[in-house]
Amino acid sequence: MLHTFVALVEDKPGVLTRVASLFRRLNINIVSLTVGHSEKPGVSRMTIVCDASPTSSHRIAASLYKLENVLQVDDISQLSHVARELALIKVSATPTTRSQVFELAEVFRARIVDLAPESLMIEITGVESKIEGLIQVLNENGDRILEISRTGRMVMRRGQHTSRVLEAMRVPGLETPEELQAEEGSDNDVLMAEEAGF
């Protein structure tokens, strides 16, 4: 199954390698990884999506914490959260076929950010399924996709779930976020559907 981890890490050279190397060593494929500044100076925020067994969450989080540069880890897969991805899609389109693409972009609430005689570029933000929906429709429409650049998933928990709140909510002993999250995350699917924008 897909797990989504948010890791706050020190903004230092080599930290990305250490995190990536950990997944490599565990033989877990990283589906997407986004890194950028966080709200704290000197601290980067990583969103890591990986494909691993349902029971591996504890071990991945515990192993991430063993890296000296990792400050905080949350598996938010089962928690109510907002997930977004940004994609730039370049489509082959002539002046006569453009208007069709414009219409599609309108439906998907995407924007046209570049226009050239033979092509145009679409910017779309949303959950993965929305982006994949647009790509599928473009393909079915016969519009030739020239290039796609996607950021990968970035996520944030809903509500005021700062690290401290999370910590206070955590139940004793072995019960890692997973188990707590299983209870909480029941309304997650509904929210996801809403975010999809359909």
Partner 1 sequence: MGTAKKHPSQASAAEAKESTQMLTSTKLTGAEILWATLAGEGVDVVFGYPGGAILPVYDALKKFPIRHVLVRHEQGAAHMADGYARASGKVGVAVATSGPGATNLVTGIATAMLDSVPMVCITGQVSSKVLGTDAFQEVDITGITLPVTKHNYVVTRAEDVAKTVREAFLVAKSGRPGPVLVDITKDAQQGLAEFDFEAAAPRPHRPHPMLRTESASILQAAELIRNARKPVILAGHGMLQSGAGGQVRTLAERMRIPVASTLLGLGGFPASHPLSLGMMGMHGEAWVNHAIQQSDLLIACGMRFDDRVTGTLATYAPNAKKIHIEVDPAEINKNVKVDIALIGDLKEVLEALLPHLAPRDARSESPWVKEIEASKGECAVRDIKNLPDSGHLYAAHVIHDLWRATEGKAIVVTDVGQHQMWEAQYYKHDQPRTLITSGGLGTMGFALPAAIGAKIACPDKEVWVIAGDGGFQMTAAELSTAAQEELDLNIAVVNNGYLGMVRQWQEFFYEKNYQSSPLRSPDFVKLAEAHGIPGRTVKQRAEVLPAVEAARTHRGPFIINFLVEKEDSVYPMIPAGSALHEMIRRPNNPLVETGKDA
Site membership for partner 1, residue 42 (CB under 8 A): no
**Which residue do the tokens 């598996």 mark?**
75
Q: How far is the CB of 165 from partner 1 (least distance, A)?
A: 14
Give yes or no for residue 182 binding partner 1 (CB under 8 A): no
- Residue 14 as a binder of partner 1 (CB under 8 A): the answer is yes
Token pair listed for 50: 């990986």
Q: Please count the CA atoms within 13 angstroms of the CA of 99 that sit on its side-chain side.
A: 1
Q: Which one of 10, 18, 30, 98 is in contact with partner 1 (CB under 8 A)?
A: 18
46 or 73: CB nearest partner 1: 73
Q: Pick from 72, 92, 125, 129 the residue near partner 1 by CB under 8 A.
A: 72
| 17 binding partner 1? (CB under 8 A) | yes
Q: Which residues contact 118 (CB under 8 A, 6 or more apart)?
A: 92, 93, 94
**From its phi and psi, is residue 128 left (phi > 0), alpha (psi between -120 and 50) or beta?**
alpha
Contact code string over 95-114 relative to partner 1, x by CB under 8 A: --------------------
Q: Minimum distance between the CB of residue 10 and partner 1, rounded to whole angstroms?
A: 11
Q: Are 110 and 47 in contact (CB under 8 A)?
A: no
Give CA–CA dist 29/52, Å, rounded: 8
Q: Which of 11, 32, 38, 59 binds partner 1 (CB under 8 A)?
A: 59
Nearest Cα neighbor of 122 from 106, 142, 136 is 106
Q: Which residues bind partner 1 (CB under 8 A)?
A: 14, 17-18, 21, 25, 55, 58-59, 61-63, 65-68, 71-73, 167, 172-174, 176
